Structure 1
């Protein structure tokens, strides 16, 4: 999926005409906008209170996020507004610079986001390791919960997490019961809301919780702290002021807001795209839209905005089809804030505190902790969380990124080096696996020092990078060991080789090189001088040591699992197409993969009896193939010499059955095979009939449950097809058979 394309699909309602567009808006977007508005309203109020900003700033940000980001952003269904992830940094900015200067910083962060989008670096923001993002959000959640628990208990939020923890015992000793009751009611309703019947859950849980808590606070016989809204929303609009003090601190805060808002918006877009793949996001345009919204919000006196995944997913699931749903939700917030400002002032602070505490707790996800532990990144997660909670957001992220980079570096340059003697032999094996750099020299020196002087040594190198320092160390050690009477043999499987270490600057090898070497001999188009000798040398250099332990165990066990009869054609490699190894197949090959009737061929008869009676094979297989020369000669009735002609007479019944019509031929024709290949499959089916009728095979079936099966290898597609006496079937990736039935 390209992220640089227009997010509107080709069937977009925007291209369908004005009447159709209004029909889509009325049917889908209008209801979705109301749902998102009901979700966004209490969250916007709560985030403003938690940030230490005017309450109206949250409403302004919700309006601007809906209208500006909705119109200019790169997603058709993503919803923007004030977000919990920016609460901490905004609260620190308000404390350090004041509210109006924070608005200036918000506008500046928006300019940075526009520059990010214009320079097309959106994808770079997604390169931040997920464990740091998850830990950052968890740390923000912990901070929000620690601060808001004081508000829930009737106090005020404190400026730092450490202060919140220290002051918590005193706050517990002076609990205001009215605020506590209201906040607990909100938490209980939100937790229980997912258990109510689905039709009732159409109404957002946060709205129900806040409304119920507000009504409860009006009837409680005790005082409850409420939101203070100084004037109307329009009265709260004002231009920002230029911060005074350290401009480096201003720049850091500005960059922090821009980065967090950008990363959260892009991560939200990724999640939304997964649920609505028909409406992909243009990531660069999304950053421009988010930046524009932050510029406008800052200039009007609003909080910073970002795309919020909860609202965006809600919008998508509510059926939104166009940007109209996002824009309309912002308009509904504006109408509510202007016409019903008095209702906002009835909302208890403790109700919003309960809402925010639950949001904060939900940012700490057990799934993320389990994922970090499973990936070996738990300490990165914990260090980032602690840094965010007890230092600040930016320092916590830097700590997490540095630790992640250190972990990545350690994993990339890590190399396994083991030197050990072979039991019962005066031979040592030195295994070097991984990225071999100068950082591995201490360990490499220590392991090589273990090798007995004068011993025969095999150095197995599965290395993807080899620098000059380690190459020189290995070379010098080899020279010294051989001068002491020892023998050193190199087996190089990895993509970085000793022979190329001095050819130029060290480079990471490519796995494609290893693949090319493995299948290179198959690609010969001309005749090389003594190709067998060259192949044997390559085998000894690259793979003999891998085969040695397995073959050594087979020295006194000449049994096999399967009798495998196939054509003499050199393109058929039985162990490759059956994914088997030495000792698995008892293979017999002849022209046309034939089982002569009545035991008239001593070679096939002897092999079959030996496999079933002496080796006790559990399966008998006959395998044909596409483009078979024997079948083509049989089909065209080409005159051949007496030896080949006499042999092909054993296949004459296959040609007769093919011409009379055979269900295997019909199925093969339906699958698109040529007549020669259809004949080849019919030939396999007839060999199966002969095998079933053979006394030794029949005895094996009855007494030991020997399986008899037919295969056909299609060389052009490298597919293996099962052939029975009356049909064919293909194997899917899971190994299941899919029958091919003629029309």
Structure 2
């Protein structure tokens, strides 16, 4: 930041980049807040804190923080379950957890999370956002759960035809999506204006000029929207459900931030992100947002990419974008009140579809089928259950897949060179774990009982307790019926030495 203040050229680039990020952030801050079921101002407050506070803290130089679509589902569920008054305490506690994780230098461990699980989580979030915002585009209330929203889509389509919901609102939302989809095909001079801002501005202008009967954003002002936690709300954090929500906020926001940091670092050649410091910065920001009763924050790739592409050189662009948000929310609140809800829903439908990696699923299925299964199961679980349970299921499946992949076991049965009379050598190599136990036992139980058998286990890199126990039991049963006992080469049965067996 000091570099920008000393160098006029760098200062100019940062100021211009800050305006671009500000224009991208306004519709997203408002849209995420409305989709989360809280006042629009709370999204702006989180964006302001993300700029003025987190932007000035060390960690990442060009990454921009604010309310993110990735947390919309979790916030909506928390507000619906615990009430709006509990949002502040939940976010505050999550921020403190993030600070503690950063101080313990655990930031780098978030990079160990399976990419398939993260992609599945984001895909599931994207699908939930799309399913919910399709109803918002028609000024209709969305059902509570993912399966109910899917089941209600035919009814929503019927209501659009019969006029049971607002066709005008849906037309505004659909037009907003169309503008966003086609925006990248327009001339570069036009695309200097951020697509979300242009789409929302056009929708607002058309709605006002045509006086369309659509719902608009309700605005009360920043001061009225701030809800500091009281003692009763803070006491509610002691319930098991609230603790689980706090951990979900902290872990998912941290993972999304640090994965985003890795992506943003690839976009520029400046200083790399210090993951632990970035985690502390995000936690500090969320602690302040919680104290104000605002939305949780995370680093947002869309805003960060806009910052890099606009030529930002230092963290000053992040701080200034927060200042512009503050001035906008203070001086022009009526501008927010003119925005149709359907337009914001359209922005989020477009953002939600971008979270689903449509182009990566088929290549992933061809090359890494197990990873594709983890991604798909995680996404479906997020839609069918909730975000926290879906991610836990994805992580569990990823661990099982990794255990299966690493437990390669090669079994080879051949005629023993030292036993021309018909003796068999069974060579077992690799990792003998309980996951491969059925295959191992099938191969051993298929051996004839009238021929000597030698088990060559010297090629095993790992033999777990379950497989060792199974080998001992099989050898005992085989010895009881065979004409000669089983001979072990390598890590064989316990007690072989005591029995005098080779």
Same fold by TM (over 0.5)? yes
Q: In structure 2, the residue corresponding to 1:377 is in which secondary structure? A: helix
Give the conservation status (yes or no) of the 8 Å contact 2:423–2:451.
no
The residue aligned with 1:284 is: 276
Deviation per CA, 1:551-605: give whole Å up to 9, x if none.
Answer: xxxxxxxxxxxxxxxxxxxxxxxxxxxxxxxxxxxxxxxxxxxxxxxxxxxxxxx
Deviation at 1:56, TM superposition (A): 0.4
Greater mean alpha carbon deviation, residues 343-352 or residues 125-134: 125-134
For normalisation by structure 1, the TM-score amounts to 0.60
For 1:436, which of 432, 438, 441 is the aligned residue?
432
d(CA) in 2 for partners of 1:456, 1:57: 73
Number of aligned residue pairs: 478
Q: CA deviation at 1:144?
A: 0.9
Mapped pair 1:128 → 2:113: yes
CA 1:431–1:200: 2 relative to 1, 3 Å = farther
Aligned to 1:701: none
The answer to whether 1:148 aligns with 2:133 is yes
2:250 is matched with 258
Partner residue of 2:240?
248
* Distance in 1 of aligned mates of 2:451 and 2:79: 74
Counterpart of 1:236 (choices 225, 247, 255) is: 225
Structure number with higher helix proportion: 2
Residues 545-584 of structure 1 correspond to what in structure 2 (within 5 A)?
Answer: none
- Structure 1 SS opposite 2:266: helix
Residues 25-83 of structure 1 show CA distances to partners (whole Å, capped at 9, x for unaligned) of 22x21111111111111111110100001010011111001111111240010100000
Q: Describe how 1:634-645 pairs up with structure 2 within 5 A.
A: none
Change (3 A) 1:385 1:224: same
* 2:381 is equivalent to residue 416 of structure 1: no
Which structure has more relative contact order (CA 8 Å, sep 6+)? It is 2
User: CA 1:104–1:49 in structure 2 vs 1: closer, same or farther (change >3 Å)?
Assistant: same
Check conservation: 2:4, 2:14, Cα contact below 8 A.
no
RMSD between aligned residues? 3.1
Aligned partner (choices 206, 217, 220) of residue 227 of structure 1: 217
In structure 2, distance between residues paired with 1:179 and 1:467: 62
Q: Which of 60, 63, 66 is the matching residue for 1:78?
A: 63
1:31 paired with 2:20, answer no
The yes-or-no answer on 1:205 pairing with 2:195 is yes
TM-score by length of structure 2 reads 0.86
SS at structure 2 position matched to 1:435: strand
- Matches of residues 663-682 of structure 1 in structure 2 within 5 Å? none
Question: Do structure 1's residue 407 and structure 2's residue 393 form an aligned pair?
Answer: no
Give the aligned partner of residue 696 of structure 1: none
Counterpart of 2:500? none
Q: Does the 8 A contact of 1:105 with 1:298 survive in 2?
A: yes
Residues in 2 aligned to 1:142 and 1:45: alpha-carbon distance in whole angstroms: 20
CA contact (8 A) 1:131 1:368 kept: no
Question: What is the distance in 1 between the residues matched to 2:83 and 2:347?
Answer: 26
Partner of residue 330, structure 1:
322
Q: Given the superposition, is the C-alpha separation of residues 427 and 266 from structure 1 closer, same or farther in structure 2, using an over 3 Å criterion?
A: same
Change (3 A) 1:147 1:468: closer
Q: Secondary structure at the match of 2:59?
A: coil
1:308-457 paired onto structure 2 within 5 Å = 308-370=300-362, 372-373=364-365, 374-375=367-368, 376-419=370-413, 430-437=426-433, 440=436, 443-452=439-448, 453-454=450-451
Note the C-alpha offset of 1:480.
Answer: 5.9
After the TM superposition, which residues 298-309 of structure 1 pair with which residues of structure 2 at under 5 Å, given as runs? 298-309=290-301
1:500–1:196 Cα change, 3 Å: farther
CA distance in 2, matches of 1:203, 1:39: 9
Quick check: which has more Rg, 1 or 2?
1
Q: State the partner residue of 1:737.
A: none
Which deviations, in whole Å up to 9, do the C-alpha atoms of 1:632-657 show, x marking residues without a partner?
xxxxxxxxxxxxxxxxxxxxxxxxxx
1:498, distance to aligned residue in structure 2 (A) = 4.0
How many angstroms apart in 2 are the aligned matches of 1:51 and 1:219? 29
Structure 2 distance, partners of 1:275, 1:397, is 28
| Partner SS for 1:126 | helix
Q: Contact between 1:48 and 1:57, CA under 8 Å: does it hold in 2? A: yes
**3-state SS of 1:416 partner:** strand
2:95 aligns with 110
Q: CA-to-partner distance for each residue in 1:455-474, whole Å, 9 max, x for gaps?
A: 68794854221357756848
Partner of 1:59: 44
Q: In structure 2, how many angstroms separate the alpha carbons of the residues matched to 1:301 and 1:487?
A: 71
CA contact (8 A) 1:419 1:448 kept: no
Looking at structure 1, the residues matched to 254 and 312 of structure 2 have their Cα atoms a distance apart, in angstroms, of 23
Structure 1 residues 468 and 80: CA distance shift in structure 2, 3 A: closer
- Rounded Cα–Cα distance in structure 2 between residues aligned with 1:337 and 1:326: 17
1:386 CA drift (Å): 2.4
Match for residue 193 of structure 1 among 164, 168, 183: 183
Distance 1:466 1:459 in 2: 13
Alignment match, 1:44: 29
Shift of 1:159: 2.7
Displacement of 1:340: 1.1
Residue in 2 that maps onto 1:544:
none
| C-alpha contact 1:268 1:309 (8 A) present in aligned 2 | yes
Q: What SS does structure 2 have at the residue aligned with 1:113?
A: helix
Q: Provide the secondary structure at the position in 2 that maps to 1:280.
A: coil
Q: Residue 267 of structure 1 aligns with which residue?
A: 259
Which ranges of structure 2 fall in alignment gaps of 5 or more residues?
497-502
Instruction: Tell me the CA shift for residue 387 of structure 1.
Output: 2.1
8 Å CA contact 1:147, 1:164 repeated in 2 = yes
